[in-house]
Amino acid sequence: MVLGILLLYFLGGSLISEVTKDVVVEKRGEVLAASLGSPVPFFELSDLSGRMVKITDFLGEPLIVTFWTTWNVASADQIKILDDYLAKNDEALFKIIAVSSQEDKSAVANFINRGGYKVRVLLDETGEAGEKYEARNLPTTYFIDKDGVVRGVFIGVLSEKMLVEKAERMVK
């Protein structure tokens, strides 16, 4: 028992370092996941008009993807912030899509129409895209560069200021 504790004491630090070497956590809920620097996981989802949209349709331009749901207050706040940003910035440096997670099209359409939102919404009714992105806490926002590489992940509500700061870093 004592020998096991001593081994754990001496080897534990290097083992923990090895397991966590690619994971960095910053302040205020921002998580830089092990998938940073990786190509964005592929998905093809329907928008509210029924048109199929592929994540690869956005290659060549920076993209922000937010996973959200209508019943989550924080997610609803994030949609409002994204929409307000788009309303003020006709010439945004990046595209924004909001992926509704595991909800019926009619519920999402009702929420978007009721709020008068213009943000582009895609429907992940089965949750398959959310699983690929490991978007388990909503809202979760991914910053993807013009080459389709994940450059940042944020869990929680991004203020407009934070959104712009993070996106500008990604664009540079």
Q: Output the tens digit of pLDDT for each of the chain's 172 residues.
A: 544 444 444 455 444 344 333 333 333 444 334 378 899 999 999 999 999 999 999 999 999 999 999 999 999 999 999 999 999 987 778 999 999 999 999 999 999 999 999 999 999 999 999 999 999 899 999 999 999 999 999 999 999 999 989 888 877 7
For the chain, give every domain's residue range. 23-171
* Cα 9–Cα 11–Cα 16 angle in degrees, nearest 5: 100
- State the pTM of this model: 0.79
Residue 172: what pLDDT? 72
DSSP 145: -
Amino acid at 133: Y
Residue 1: what pLDDT? 54
Compute the half-sphere exposure of residue 154: CA atoms within 13 Å on the CB side of its CA. Answer: 20
Q: Where are the beta strands (DSSP E) in 15-94?
A: 24-25, 31-32, 44-47, 52-54, 63-68
* Residue 7 token pair: 């081994």
Q: Which fold has domain 23-171?
A: Glutaredoxin (3.40.30)
- Alpha-carbon span 153 to 143, nearest angstrom: 6
